[in-house]
Structures are given as structure tokens and as C-alpha cells.
Amino acid sequence: MSSKNKAERAASTLPELLEVLAAELAAEPDVRRWVLAFSGGLDSSLLLELCARLNLPQPLLAVHIDHQLQAVSRQWRDHCRDHCERLGVPIQIVPVNPASSSEASARSARYQAFEALLQPGDCLLMAQHADDQAETLLLRLLRGSGVAGLAAMPAGRALGEARLLRPLLSQPRARLEAAAAELGLAPVEDPTNVQDHYDRNWLRLHILPRLKQHWPSLLQRCKDTTALMSDADQLLQERAEEDLQHCRQASGGLCLSQLCQLSSARQRNLLHHWIMRQTGHRLSRQRLQNLQRSMLSTRSDASPEERFPGYHLRRYRDELHFVPDPLPVVASDSVVAVRVGQDLELPTGRLSWHRESAGLAEGTILELRYRQGGERLRPVGRGGSVALKQLLQESGLPPWLRPLQPILWSDGEIRAVPGICLCEPGLVEKGLVPHWHAFGLS
């Protein structure tokens, strides 16, 4: 290509990028404020310049996260401040302290800072591009990621109460470099970008250039693959939601007999989806297969457990339950005054009331207690008294929740076991019935 043609191509890059950016931002009509993640590098510097040229109707704030990991971090901070001052864009400098110098720790600290700063109606703009997306896809492929991982970085997603948008994700790095050269930008250079002991840098420095040389359409192929994986992930989630509606119990747990009717692949898909929703943890294929064997293949009277950070997955009778780890503890002699009809939040759950044909008189003061052992009660329709221990067993309440089950007393008698039964003394027509929403029911 002649130097003249190169110059003409570079001259056309900036208007093209401005048009792409304007279209991406216009697709987010509810944004109250744009917050731009500004490192001072080429990509974010160009994005800042483009946003400044668009004369956006919403306020624009640049945010520089100072990881304090480099000796020159103060110089980068000053460079970012000077750049924003030249453009008339306000900037906020946020120092963070990553747990280590690793990429993962820096990223975690950076996103925590963003989430703390962002407000409802904000949209965080990040300058990742098509080469970054290709690197992410290859890294996740080499790490054995599933469909969700191979969808790589989404162009937009929720971030706390705000939004995250990557408006240049479809653009190759070469196009951004051409526009930056046209504008005469002098971005900061992170010396760690040439240290190939980082996996991403090794791919960027040694592998991607050779792949692009052999397959000139590599970035487009990677873009197509991530789009296909994103579609596949959405379909798997939709299928999992359908199966969840079929298998979910009133308690929030999963019905094992219904789960076992699904194919093995659908079982894993549902378990992964359910666990992800409950805990935020993504499981490897091996962990899912192990969980399948332990929870679905053992004998019916077994009580297997699977531990996750902060949670237990437990099986009882025909259900799987998620419970916090550790479980809360209540004093057996604890007494709480309860007014019938008044909802109550407790560390172990929530007490609410519903009006039915027969129930407790509104406004009555009862005592909420927990099991001490040996209690008896006379449930409505039972035709006699029964031990509380037997009643809880018959109800199907999992053993780990029984010590936390509230009991409502008055005048030395049990008047109700919320969510399980009313007792014969003290019932009135059109009364209120207590319902118990235990924390530990998934």
C-alpha cells in the first residue's frame, strides 16, 4: 500500500470510529452519566478523546484507578489529570490496594472500586477492543472454559446498580492505533505489557501476531465464535430455567425424583445454573460430575453434603437444599414478643401473616420460642396431642432447620408452629395464620 493510500486510510479512521461510538452510546438511552475507565493507555485515551468530541448531552466523568503497583504510578496519575484538563473533562483519581501484583488481584481491586463509585443511572465505559476479545477467547479456551466462558467479554452488562459498556469491542487494535496517531496522542506505556510471563501478554506478543498473519480474518472469526457461544449460553440458561420451574419445590430446593428424570447433560446444566444463582460460583465439569454422583446416585437414605465457600449443599429425603455455612445459632431459652398480624424479621428467617377462614386473633400478643425438648401440642384436625419432635419429622422439615423453627406460645400452650400447623386453643373465624420463610430454604 502506498504512503498516500495509508494516509487516506488513516484520515478516514477517526470519523468512522466516532460514528461507531455515537451509535453504541445512543443505544443506551437511560444513562444519566457516563463514567470512563481511564488508565492513560492508548485505548482509553482514544476513547476519552472520542467521547469529548461527541459533545454528549449527559455528564462525562473520567476515573483513573491507581493500583500503586508501579514506581511510575504517580506520573501516570498526573498524565491522566493533565489530559482531562486539556479536554475539559472532570477526573476522579481512586487509589486501590490489590492483594497482590497479579492480574487477577488488580482486576478485582479495580472492579470493586468501580462498583463503589458507580450510582444508579451511570454507565461505565471501557475501551477493550477486538484484539482483547480474541485474547480472552483463547485464554479461556486454553483454561478449559465452558460455553459461558467462551462467550468472552460481553459488549454490555449490569455492574452493581449501573451498566458497563464496551463500545469499541468490535474494533481491531490497528484501527485504534491509526486514530490515535492521527490525533497525535502520547499515551502512557505500562512496562508490564512487554513482560511475557503473564499469560495474556504471552499470547499478545508471541501467538496472536502469527495467527493473524496466517488467518487475516482471525478477529472476525473470534467475534463470530463469541457471538455463537453467547447464543448457546442463553439457550442453556433458558432450558435450565424451564427445568428449574419443573423441579423446584415450594421450599426453594430441588426435587430429586424430578431431577433424575432429566438426561445427564440436563441435570448438570440445571445444577450449574441453580448453584450459580444461589452462590455466584461457576463449577468445573469435573466438580459437576462429582456432585451428580454424590447427590443423585447414592442410596435414598444417605445424607451427602457438598461444601462451597459460605454454603452447604445438602440432601434430605427427595430434595436438595442450599444452606449457609456456618448455620446461625439461637439460644433455646430465647423469647421474642410477637403481635399477631405484625411481620417480623429474625436472623433465622421472616414471619408473615395471611388471613384465612380460621386463625389467630389479630393483635394478640404471643411468645416466640424455640425447641427445648419434650414439647407437646394439639394441632387442628389431629384429634389429640402429639410430640413436637414427631410433628417436625412428619412435616419434612430438614433436620438442620428444626432447632431454628419458631414456636408460638400463649399461657403455657403452643398456639401455632408457623408454616406447619395451628393448634386448637384460641382460634377465631377470619383469623390470621402465621407463615415462616426460613433463611435456609434455598
Q: What is the pLDDT of residue 298?
A: 62
Residue in 185, 159, 165 with CA at minimum distance from that of residue 43: 185
Q: What is the pLDDT of residue 442?
A: 45
Boundaries of domain holding 425: 336-438
Longest dimension (CA), the chain: 99
pLDDT confidence bin for 309, thresholds 50/70/90: confident
Q: Whole-number mean pLDDT of the chain?
A: 90
Strand duo 91-95 + 60-66: pairing: parallel
Task: Indicate if 286 and 346 belong to the same structural domain.
Answer: no
pTM score of the predicted model: 0.79
Task: Indicate if 284 and 384 belong to the same structural domain.
Answer: no
**230: Cβ contacts below 8 Å, ≥ 6 apart:** 151, 154
Cell of 387: 410430640
- 43 marked as part of a ligand binding site: yes
In a domain, 118, yes or no: yes
- 41 marked as part of a ligand binding site: yes
CA distance 203 to 414: 68
Digit-coded pLDDT (tens) for 7-20: 444 446 899 999 99
Half-sphere exposure of 309 (CA within 13 A, CB side): 5
Which residue(s) pair with 384 in the sheet?
none
Query: Which range has the top average pLDDT, 233-242, 317-326, 398-407?
Result: 233-242
> By mean pLDDT, which of 163-167, 179-183, 191-195, 365-369 is the weakest?
191-195
In a domain, 213, yes or no: no
Task: Indicate if 303 and 343 belong to the same structural domain.
Answer: no
Digit-coded pLDDT (tens) for 228-248: 999 999 999 999 999 999 999
293, 324, 355 — which closes off a domain?
324
Residue in 246, 229, 301, 237 with CA at minimum distance from that of residue 269: 237
Task: Indicate if 259 and 300 belong to the same structural domain.
Answer: yes
Task: Indicate if 163 and 57 belong to the same structural domain.
Answer: yes
CA distance 76 to 123: 24
In a domain, 344, yes or no: yes
| Average pLDDT over every residue of 188-194 | 82
145, 169, 192 — which closes off a domain?
192
Q: Any idea what the CATH number is for the domain that residue 23 is in?
A: 3.40.50.620
Q: What is the pLDDT of residue 7?
A: 44
Total domains in the chain come to 3
Task: Indicate if 318 and 345 belong to the same structural domain.
Answer: no
In a domain, 265, yes or no: yes
Task: Indicate if 317 and 376 belong to the same structural domain.
Answer: no
Residue in 297, 233, 243, 292 with CA at minimum distance from that of residue 266: 243
Task: Indicate if 73 and 97 belong to the same structural domain.
Answer: yes
Amino acid at position 69, single letter: L
In a domain, 235, yes or no: no
Q: What is the pLDDT of residue 294?
A: 86
- pLDDT of 154 > 80? The answer is yes
324, 350, 365 — which closes off a domain?
324
Q: What is the pLDDT of residue 85?
A: 97
> By mean pLDDT, which of 49-63, 170-184, 208-222, 332-346 is the weakest?
332-346
Residue in 230, 238, 269 with CA at minimum distance from that of residue 149: 230
In a domain, 101, yes or no: yes
Task: Indicate if 166 and 31 belong to the same structural domain.
Answer: yes
In a domain, 342, yes or no: yes
Dihedral pair phi/psi, residue 185, rounded to 5°: -70, 145
The 10 Å Cβ neighbour count of residue 429 is: 9
Task: Indicate if 309 and 364 belong to the same structural domain.
Answer: no
Q: What is the pLDDT of residue 1?
A: 43
> By mean pLDDT, which of 387-391, 407-411, 423-427 is the weakest?
423-427
Task: Indicate if 39 and 158 belong to the same structural domain.
Answer: yes
Strand duo 162-165 + 254-255: pairing: unpaired
Task: Indicate if 120 and 66 belong to the same structural domain.
Answer: yes
- 39 marked as part of a ligand binding site: yes
Q: Any idea what the CATH number is for the domain that residue 289 is in?
A: 1.20.59.20
In a domain, 242, yes or no: no
